[in-house]
Amino acid sequence: MTVEEVISILICPRCSSKLTAGKGYLECPRCGARYSIIDGRIVDFIGTEQGWIVFFERYPELYDPWSRIGWRLSGKGSLDSFYEKLIEGLDSGLLVDAGCGTGSLIAALEKRGYEGTPIGIDISLPMLRVAARKTKKAVFLRCSIERIPIIDGSIDHYISSLVLHILKDKKRAVNEISRILRNGGSVRIAVAVTDSFRGKVFNRLLGVYAIRSSEYMDLLRSMGIEILRTVDYGAFKALYGAKKTQRIGQE
Ligand SMILES: [Zn+2]
């Protein structure tokens, strides 16, 4: 997959106009912004060298081993079986992995023979470079999950693993899920939750903004996402849902 193949669903994060392709960049005909294409498969919508955690920006190859240790200490079962369960049954369509990091979830999808197009989103360029090496056909967007440069109603599946609890205010990110998904599109989100004592301790130690699973669910429901089931992983929870299909004439 190349960036050119997904350009029809990409928009300028500054003015929401459709983009055109140049040599090694995408350009906004309306506001003139240019976004570089890196290694053929990453579009950089941020441009400046700044990321979320300075340490992992510098040593992105340490992120995967760290994830395994973190999961061993606070999760339930193996990290691989958690990934498998999160992508279970997904086999085609346009899929967004929000906060894809080093691309472990997309790599697992591809390994299982995913036939659609995975789009990985992350704010960290070093992480995305690792992700691009680890995967074959995914396209990556370096942007915020609070402002995704993708047109409304175009995505079939939104997945996000262990990201949403990092954000203090989750409203904009959740609103983006609902905005980019087509009606009936699926949502799978794994988050740190404070339901249990273990969850509360983990939340405090990492300094993340985890909330109770019922609060995540209320937030998702308020943005038109129906929750279908949940899976418990100790300090984490996976929420499975779908964007409600609106009937004609109803808002
Ligand atoms: Zn623009």
233-248 residue pLDDT tens: 988 999 999 999 865 5
- Per-residue pLDDT, averaged over 161-170, amounts to 93
In this structure, is the dihedral angle defined by the CA atoms of residues 171, 192, 127 and 87, taken in order, positive or negative? negative
CA of 36 to the centre of ligand 1 (A): 14
- The model's pTM: 0.92
Ligand 1 center to 43 CA (angstroms): 15
Q: How confident is the model at residue 41 (pLDDT cuts 50, 70, 90)?
A: very high
Distance 240 CA to ligand 1 centre (A): 34
CB atoms near residue 4 (< 10 Å): 12
CA of 19 to the centre of ligand 1 (A): 8
Distance 151 CA to ligand 1 centre (A): 13
Rounded to whole angstroms, the Cα distance separating 211 from 201 reads 12
Domains and CATH numbers, the chain: 41-243 (3.40.50.150)
CA–CA distances in Å: residue 230 to residues 42, 178, 190, 204, 233? 32, 19, 9, 23, 10
User: 171-219 pLDDT, tens per residue?
Assistant: 999 999 999 999 999 999 999 999 988 888 888 888 889 999 999 999 9
Average pLDDT, the chain: 91
Alpha-carbon distance of 219 to 214, in angstroms, equals 9
Distance 152 CA to ligand 1 centre (A): 16
Check if the beta carbon of residue 4 is closer than 8 Å to that of residue 87. no
- Report the distance separating Cα 98 and Cα 107, nearest Å: 14
- Has residue 72 got a pLDDT over 60? yes
Calculate the dihedral angle through the C-alpha atoms of 66, 68, 74, 79, rounding to the nearest 10 degrees. 150
**Does pLDDT of 32 surpass 50?**
yes
Q: What pairing do the DSSP bridges indicate for beta strands 34-38 and 25-27?
A: antiparallel
